[in-house]
Structure 1
Amino acid sequence: MLMDIYLGTEDTRFMLFVQDSLQAFSSSIAGLLSSRAVLQGVGVGDATASPTSALLLSILQDSMGRIATILFAHQLGTSLEPECKMYRLAADIFNDSSMIMDCLSPMFPKSIRVGLLSLSSVLRALCGVAAGSSKASLSAHFAKWGNLAELNAKDSSQETVISLMGMLVGSLVVSYITSPLATWVALISLLIVHITTNYLAVRAVSMTSLNRQRANIVFSTLFDENRVLTAKQASKQERVFERDGVLRWKASSDTLGFCQIGVPFKDVIDHVSSSSPAERTEATIVAILRVFEQEEYILWFDPARKRGVIGLKTNASPTSQLKAWSHALLAANSLKIKESNTRGPLVREQVGTDSVLMLGILQDTLAEHSKDFDARIESLRDAGWDIDTPSLQTKPGRKFDVIRKQE
């Protein structure tokens, strides 16, 4: 489903077109094999099968799919756009898994068969939500001249032609492949082609928005080398599937910790309380508010658990969100450097649990970061990055105001 338009050189566009065509072609044939298995599962060819039973099974599948659609969209709706590459590939994994469930269903008794077909319907519904949302985001990215309608129309026509060819070839395939072994060999081969081509196509896309993973890669390179990566350079270091909220220096396999952005102020207080002695919690919170008085966010990083939280103030802009996330990355890396330079288990333990030390790290890194932040943002704009589209929050967040008490 990935468009081949406006991406790099002619060779790149041709390769993406081939990959897109192969994935749609293989998916169409695999879909016919799974559809035949579903028909066998509902009793086609079985004289004892009841049309009413088949209808009730269809209603159950449809109901399960609709419920899954509602729950999935509610739970993960906010993250679909920032993580569109991940969900684009996840959609294909959901779809291919549903085909495997369909083909497994005739092998089991009726009670288990109903469960497998219902699970297949749920996976197909998840595919629909993830594919539709991520495709919309990717199409908007490819429409560089505002021609989104034209882009979608051409994408749909290309997909229709390839799917039609797949159905014609698939008609011959299902006519000749009838044994279970041959069916499974053909199905697995087609699904491998489908997933592989989709993976390569997703890897080839260079998004210009800065989600959490790309922000990690771009800002850590800026901090380390004072060099701005282009979207294409950053995409080569991206993982398609990345852990939620991870703080990672460049593309290292080691993690610095995890961070949540856009949390309620209560969550910030809870994290401070868990990492500070009870008698110092209030003083620590007051100190944090002072440190971030001029910023549009507040940040706390638990040095023991390596967990950070970012609370956004009401006036927080997309640029401020980028500053908050990159500050969390810088603070986590500074903490790691301090820990690695510290000798002795007793001192190391103090480094990991002392909230006063963490406050010092936050204050020092904020001063260091603020000094060059505006210039770095301009250099990112010049390199083609979309700074004005917020892509860091993957869950509905709450903002708050800090009202200073009159003396």
Structure 2
Amino acid sequence: MGRILFAFTHGTYLDAYSKKWRLYADTLNDAAMCIEIALPLFKNYTTFALCVSTVMKAIVGVAGGATRAAMTQHHAIRGNMADVTAKDSAQETAVNLIASFTALFIISVLGNSLTIFLIMMILHIIFNYFAVRAVCLRTLNEPRFLQAIDIYLKQEMIASPCEINRKEPIIFYQLGPNLLDLKLCGFQIRLGSSLKELVKDSPKFSLYQNVQEVYRDRKYAIFPRVNKRKMHVVIKENASTDDILCSYFHSVLLSIIICVINDYQLPSSKNDGEPRPFAQVCQTLQSAEWSREPSDYPKARREFIYEPTQDLIRYVDKIVQKEWRRVRGGLLATGWDLSKHLLMVDEWRIIDNNKKSDRTQRDNFSSIMECAKIVSFGEAICKNDFPVNLSETEKQMADAVIQDNLNKKKN
């Protein structure tokens, strides 16, 4: 059960954060061995302790095997995965053989000591950390891409894969309030969000209309949730890897600028020493009245008091159109592999009205826009008055939101 539940809940993270989970697997394996050795101390809880250690070893099996496959794919730069796998297995056998003789020598000289065991276990974790830190992955995941963008905005240069990998957070990424995206751009970025869920959360038609006009020619659309400090990216069905990477870069720039117009300063928007182009743009937008409008959310639900105007969203889109070509060329020139990515993207996609699909995780943009328009006007109409191009699910969604708004007004 532990193996199944772990694969179901964390399977999608093993590719994106292979170094982190490789280190976690080694640490869990050592912890499971410690529990088994300490079983005589838990005579009344032997069954429980064995269950815990078994679950931990099951997680080690899933995480270790999956991350090993990811690492092998990285090392097989010529597509020779079978050759790399065979040599890795042979190397592991040789290392285990040497380790067995070394262990026999240590036991015969130093004896059976718990102190020696603890020292060896700590050294094992430390050496595994340095081994994982030495791996230089050339595919962009979220922490590597964020750091590359941060260096570009501060220094007007693209860092190499090895430089970024040396600084990549491995242990504490995604833990606690100091998330890397919140720290560097002030917002949490969600790729592949459901437009239907966004309409339920904020049925404001003007926002969706503005976004649709700005991103009409793009394969994605960005919906800022200023009150929650989240940036939702809605992706079209035919979006490529380049479109997804561009959407993330676009979201980071828009997030930083929204923070600036709310007088929330980030390191990338400050002029430290020599003036930087992006920092100068941020300072100009901070004093521009056309870049902001008051937020409609109650004070109790928001941290920022201003939302971006349509003019600001369009202005940032023009900046991204120019800058992404430079960033993409720089990433390719420094050795990054942009043929694929390791960003965490949800499965929701937008399809055109004239395309039909049997897949369930799809959003019809025009139909949901019509729902948002109805909800925004606050008209308590019956289902028969909905546009004929709405599906039954979309009618139920719009009707539910309308009833919710009416109940709020009564209260």
Could you tell me the TM-score, scaled by structure 1's length?
Answer: 0.72
Match of 1:352, SS state, is: coil
Contact 2:185 2:255 in 1 (8 A): no
Correspondent of 1:95 among 29, 53, 61: 29
Superposition deviation, residue 322 in structure 1: 0.7
Which residue does 1:149 correspond to in 2?
A: 82
Deviation, structure 1 residue 104: 2.2
Q: 1:95 to 1:255 in 2, by over 3 A?
A: farther
CA displacement, residues 359-385 of structure 1 (integer Å, 9 cap, x when unaligned):
554332222111231232122112211
C-alpha contact 1:230 1:385 (8 A) present in aligned 2 = yes
CA, structure 1 residues 196+358, in 2 after alignment: closer, same or farther (shift >3 Å)? farther
Compare the two structures and name the one with the higher helix fraction. 1
Q: Counterpart of 2:224?
A: 301
**Does residue 11 of structure 2 align to residue 77 of structure 1?**
yes
**2 CA distance for matches of 1:209 and 1:219?**
14
Structure 1: distance between partners of 2:332 and 2:164 = 15
Aligned to 1:234: 164
**Could you tell me which residue of structure 2 aligns to residue 27 of structure 1?**
none
1:56 aligned residue: none
Matches within 5 A, 1:3-402: 67-110=1-44, 112-171=45-104, 182-183=113-114, 185-241=115-171, 242-243=173-174, 246=179, 248=181, 256-271=186-201, 273=202, 281-340=204-263, 352-355=304-307, 357=308, 359-393=310-344, 396-402=346-352
User: Which letter maps to 1:382?
Assistant: A
Q: From the superposition, tell whether residues 332 and 246 of structure 1 become closer, same or farther in structure 2 (CA, over 3 Å).
A: farther
What is the identity percentage for the equivalent residue pairs of Structure 1 and Structure 2?
Answer: 23
Structure with higher RCO (Cα < 8 A, 6+ apart) = 1
Aligned position for 2:393: none
Q: Distance in 2 between matches of 1:196 and 1:351?
A: 41
Distance 1:316 1:236 in 2: 31
Taking the aligned partners of 1:371 and 1:254, their CA distance within structure 2 comes to 22
Whole-angstrom CA distance in 2 between matches of 1:383 and 1:69: 39
Partner residue in 1 for 2:274:
none
Unaligned runs of at least 5 residues, structure 1: 1-66
Alignment CA distance shift 1:134-1:351 (3 Å): closer
Q: CA deviation at 1:169?
A: 3.6
SS in 2 for 1:300: strand
Q: What residue is the counterpart of 1:11 in the other structure?
A: none
CA distance in 2: counterparts of 1:140 and 1:405, whole angstroms: 41
CA gap 1:118/1:290 in 2 versus in 1, 3 angstroms: same
SS in 1 for 2:78: coil
Shift of 1:389: 0.5
The residue type paired with residue 121 of structure 1 is T
Alpha-carbon spacing, 1:103–1:178, altered in 2? closer, same or farther (3 Å)? farther
The answer (yes or no) to whether the contact 1:247–1:257 under 8 Å persists in 2 is no
CA distance 1:305–1:211, shift in 2 (3 Å): same
Report how far residue 224 of structure 1 moved: 3.0
Mapped partners of 1:211, 1:168: distance in 2:
40
* Counterpart-to-counterpart distance in 1, 2:137 and 2:116: 35
Give distance in 2, aligned partners of 1:310 and 1:247: 18
Q: Is the 8 A contact 1:335 1:361 kept in 2?
A: no
Contact conserved, 2:142 with 2:343, CA < 8 A, in 1?
yes
> What letter matches 1:290 in structure 2?
E
Cα deviation for residue 122 of structure 1 reads 0.8
Q: Structure 1's 322 and 283: CA in aligned 2 closer, same or farther, altered over 3 A? A: same
With over 3 angstroms needed to count, the CA separation of the structure-2 counterparts of 1:327 and 1:246, relative to structure 1, is: farther
SS in 1 for 2:218: coil
Contact 2:185 2:256 in 1 (8 A): no
1:164-209 deviations in Å (ceiling 9; x for gaps): 2323343465678787xx32x2222111111111111111111110
**169-178 vs 113-122, which deviates more?**
169-178
Cα drift, residue 214 of structure 1: 1.0
Aligned residues: 322
Which segment drifts farther, 199-208 or 284-293? 284-293
- In terms of mean alpha carbon deviation, does 97-106 or 210-219 score higher? 97-106
Alignment-mate amino acid for residue 77 of structure 1: G
1:360/1:129 CA distance change after superposition, 3 Å: farther
